[in-house]
Chain A
Amino acid sequence: MDFSFSEEQTLLRNSVQSFLRDKYDFDTRRKISASSEGWSQDLWRQFAELGLLAAPFSEEMGGLGGTAIETMIVMEEFGRNLVIEPFIETVVLAGGFLRQGGSTAQQEAHIPGIIGGETVWTFAYAEPQGRYNLADLTTTAKADGEGYIINGYKCVVLAAPWADKLIVSVRTSGGQRDADGVSLFIVDKNADGVSTRDYPTVDGRRASEITFENVRVGADALIGEAGKALPLIELVTDQAIAALSAEAIGGMKELNDATVEYCKTRKQFGVPIGKFQVLQHRMVDMFMAYEQSVSMTYMVALKLDESDVERCKAASGAKVQIGKAGRYVGQQAVQLHGGMGMTDELNVGHYFKRLTMIDTQFGNVDHHLSRYSNAA
């Protein structure tokens, strides 16, 4: 039993921390979010130069051979700084699909571009009727000659406005919610028949609605075996949930620190409001919610390679914990900051908004409670 970080892992954390401290303060983040692009390609390239985008790939693939712990460290620091750029979408999701399900040819063609910060990817999976069910798909791919033709619609595809390439979940056979018959395709965002409409999200990022109309892809665009992709999708989204949990604890940590600091300095009735016991206990509850979330984040990162059932319970368990804790910490941080907590000017509201949407991303508390219950 050992919960300490290796020397390399501590170095990684220090280097991400000092980079973000210098280059990603809250004002910079605000400007990036409000810019017409909505993200910083320049910073993305610098993440690549730091080696962050290489972390989870094996050395044979040109990566650094990191584990889920390295991803956790990067995402925790990203969470503390509210980083907008698509690390989860490009490295954890698309990188995860290519790394664990892609052919050697696909890996050789695409992973260097990810590691180098040249190509941005995202995962187009959600559909309006499907809510959080990854298998509830009406987007289809039909075999046609050597390749496939894709038709359908994907909603709230996060980071899609910045992406060059998409990984799209489709139905190649079976009924609308069958586990069998789900496939994954690599699609160029500028391919004929792909049309996107972009919009801002409430947490300061961007997303797109994407329509696929007779989009032709070659057989080499299929990831893994046709119709058998659901287990891979479950695995990779669980890995993304682990990364998202790390982002959440980074955000909670910042909110708790800011709240304690504020309550020590804000005076009402002649004393710092942190002297009031009712607020002290509130902050203790926030602290405990955070500590429990840290535990679940470590736990899921360490269990991603276990059996499907164990992994699924770990990921859904973590998602429930961070969903509930994120809501509590976020709401109370706003409440204890009073009117200031409501403003756009202070960073508190921005963490609160991001934590709120982290609960929605890949399924909220209710969804993962059911998934956990059904897995047992």
Chain B
Amino acid sequence: MDMSFSSGDLAFREEVRTFIEDSYPRDVANKRSRGDMTRDDMLAWHKVLAKKGWVAPSWPSEHGGAGWTITQRFIWNEECARAETTPLLPFGLSMVGPVIYTYGNEEQKKRFLPGIYNADDWWCQGYSEPGAGSDLASLKTKAVREGDHYIVNGQKTWTTLAQFADWMFCLVRTDPDAKIQAGISFLLIDMKTPGIDVRPIITMDGAHEVNEVYLDDVKVPVENLIGEENKGWTYAKFLLGNERSGIAGVARSKKAIERLRDISGSELVDGRPLIEDGEFSRKISEVEIDLTALEVTELRTLAAESRGQGPGPESSILKIKGTEIQQRITELTLEAMGNYAFVYAPRGKDEGNNAFTPGPEYGIGTAQNYFNMRKTAIYGGSNEIQHNIIAKMVLGL
């Protein structure tokens, strides 16, 4: 057992830190929430990393992976969080990309992986439906084969950033008579195809992140089917496992705790910094200790993964604890801000509205971040579903 960094690791940290300092696009450096960002802003860092060859470190080397050890990946994530770089969009890099290189044919790998790697294509995830949330397998969007095409009809929802998407990976029902998991297929759909209608859903914090996607007689060529027809559930589960392993957000949470400490050092209670208030400082310590435990749990998971034991149901721990910690930090930040937490900062739906936002700069959007982060216990398989997975798959209940 060893948790220390080798001299090689430390040199790697220096290298990536310097690279981030030199190469992170300055004009997006001040934009903290997605609500403040344009499509190009969200892709700027991705494109820099693609050029450097660091955008998809865990991919197989023939498709551009960096060949980093898990320690190096850990260090990389930490340095990115430390510099508060724009989080990379997961839909291509960590969701559909691995599905394509694992289950796609050669033609599909050639056709789609470079576009994902270089961010030439923006991907979105066509999973949830109005009637199929936690019970994803009950999805109803159907694809009927007609010659060289599938004709797709149905509705997807909570589709994150679909307003920018070029492609959607989509779960569809191809066999209505099979057992529910057995009749699902995994299709790649060009968002420019006639019959697709993307409608915004505004969330309670005012942001436009998610959408409804309506599919009306959408023609999808059969060569866009991943793997075998009716085997889509296998690929979908593979993808969800990957989604969960990235979801802990440890490095970002560390940075958020650091920010919370800074804020608590500036906010005053009876003339003294809030951080000197024993009760509040203990609350920060408590979440930090939770995060330390999660960090080591994640490292243990990654170590198992590097020995070839792919992300198992234990990754549900990372999802549950990771999101609880993220939510707790935003909650404490809201508490730290006191009265100025009331201020509404314009978001997506208020485009072009430069409203007055008083109070310290570090507090802008605090309550809205807290509201927005409630989503984390709902998306990616709700935390209740994650509990079910652990109960069934790990504890054998």
A interface residues with partner B (beta carbon < 8 Å):
126, 128-133, 136, 155-156, 158, 176-177, 197-203, 207, 209, 267-269, 273, 276, 278-279, 327, 331, 334-335, 338-339, 341-345, 349-350, 352-353, 356-357, 360, 364, 366, 369-370
B interface residues with partner A (beta carbon < 8 Å):
128, 131, 133-135, 138, 157-158, 201-206, 210, 267-271, 277, 279-280, 331, 334-335, 338-344, 349, 355-359, 367-368, 370-371, 374-375, 377-379, 382-384, 387
| Contact (Cβ within 8 A) A342 B356 | no
Residues of chain B within 8 A of A202, CB atoms compared = 205, 341-344, 367-368, 371
Provide the bound-state CA to CA distance between A253 and B312, in Å.
Answer: 41
A356-B370, A360-B338 known; A209+B358 contact, CB < 8 A: yes
Q: Which of A268, A334, A349, A364 contacts B134 (CB 8 A)?
A: A268
Between A and B, 29 residue pairs with Cβ closer than 8 Å are A126-B339, A128-B359, A131-B270, A136-B270, A155-B339, A156-B340, A176-B271, A199-B343, A199-B355, A199-B358, A202-B368, A202-B371, A209-B358, A269-B134, A269-B138, A335-B377, A339-B128, A339-B375, A339-B378, A341-B378, A342-B375, A345-B201, A349-B371, A350-B204, A353-B367, A356-B370, A366-B335, A369-B279, A370-B279
| Contact (Cβ within 8 A) A136 B344 | no
- CB-nearest residue of chain A relative to B132? A268
| Contact (Cβ within 8 A) A344 B338 | no
Nearest CB of B to A88, in Å? 14
Nearest CB of B to A319, in Å? 14
- CB-nearest residue of chain A relative to B387? A278
Residues of chain B within 8 A of A273, CB atoms compared = 134
Nearest CB of A to B382, in Å? 7
| Contact (Cβ within 8 A) B356 A198 | yes
Residues of chain B within 8 A of A156, CB atoms compared = 339-340, 342-343, 358-359
- CB-nearest residue of chain B relative to A135? B270
| Contact (Cβ within 8 A) A343 B338 | no
| Contact (Cβ within 8 A) B204 A199 | no
Provide the bound-state CA to CA distance between A350 and B338, in Å.
Answer: 20
Nearest CB of B to A174, in Å? 14
Residues of chain A within 8 A of B344, CB atoms compared = 199-202
| Contact (Cβ within 8 A) B334 A356 | yes
| Contact (Cβ within 8 A) B358 A343 | no
| Contact (Cβ within 8 A) B343 A338 | no
Residues of chain A within 8 A of B269, CB atoms compared = 131, 133
| Contact (Cβ within 8 A) B342 A201 | yes
| Contact (Cβ within 8 A) B128 A334 | no
| Contact (Cβ within 8 A) B338 A131 | yes
Provide the bound-state CA to CA distance between A327 and B387, in Å.
Answer: 22
Residues of chain A within 8 A of B158, CB atoms compared = 339
| Contact (Cβ within 8 A) B334 A278 | no
| Contact (Cβ within 8 A) B342 A197 | no
Provide the bound-state CA to CA distance between A350 and B371, in Å.
Answer: 10
Q: Which of B135, B271, B279, B343 contacts A366 (CB 8 A)?
A: B279
Provide the bound-state CA to CA distance between A334 and B342, in Å.
Answer: 20
Provide the bound-state CA to CA distance between A338 and B133, in Å.
Answer: 8
- CB-nearest residue of chain B relative to A370? B279
Residues of chain A within 8 A of B375, CB atoms compared = 339, 342
Residues of chain A within 8 A of B280, CB atoms compared = 366
Q: Which of B268, B334, B335, B384 contacts A279 (CB 8 A)?
A: B384
- CB-nearest residue of chain B relative to A209? B358
| Contact (Cβ within 8 A) B133 A207 | no
Given contacts A269-B134, A335-B377, 7 further A-B contacts (CB under 8 A): A136-B271, A156-B358, A202-B344, A331-B374, A335-B383, A356-B370, A366-B280
Nearest CB of B to A324, in Å? 12
| Contact (Cβ within 8 A) A339 B138 | no
Provide the bound-state CA to CA distance between A273 and B368, in Å.
Answer: 28
| Contact (Cβ within 8 A) B371 A352 | yes
Provide the bound-state CA to CA distance between A366 and B282, in Å.
Answer: 12
Closest 5 CB pairs of A and B: A349-B204, A268-B135, A344-B202, A156-B339, A200-B344
Residues of chain B within 8 A of A360, CB atoms compared = 334, 338-339, 341-342
| Contact (Cβ within 8 A) A344 B206 | yes
Provide the bound-state CA to CA distance between A94 and B128, in Å.
Answer: 50
| Contact (Cβ within 8 A) B356 A207 | no
